Amino acid sequence: MTTITYVEAHGQAVTVDVADGWSLMQGAVANGVEGILGECGGSCACATCHCYVDEARIGELPPPANNELDMLEDAAAPRRSNSRLACQVKVHSAMAGLIVHLPDRQQ
């Protein structure tokens, strides 16, 4: 289990333990975090799990693949340099304490 903090669009922080190997999306939806949809179930097909990873730590994550970059291009909320699709980021112990900000819209 790795502790991840999701900050919902209106500022509410929710800290949950996410099992290693789960995606940031799975950890958020299973725990009912607001502002993340993950409609496609984690296939990188819908861009409804857009999130902003703590800028200071974005470099610790493996970089996004081309299809993720393409999906981010047209996500509902503005894309930033720390934008990721939460379904494409696998959680592991080195990510403990990571802060993930959620946008105000996903569609």
Tell which residue, 48, 56, 33, has the closest CA to residue 87: 48
Q: Is 74 in the site for other proteins (CB under 8 A)?
A: yes
Binding to other proteins by CB under 8 A, coded x per residue (else -) over 44-63, reads xxxx----------------
Which C-beta is closer to other proteins: that of 10 or that of 56?
A: 10
- Residues 20, 67, 97, 105: which binds other proteins (CB under 8 A)? 67
What is the rounded CA–CA span in Å between residue 45 and residue 63?
18
Q: Is 99 in the site for other proteins (CB under 8 A)?
A: no
Q: What dihedral do alpha carbons 47, 68, 81, 94 form, nearest 10°?
A: 100
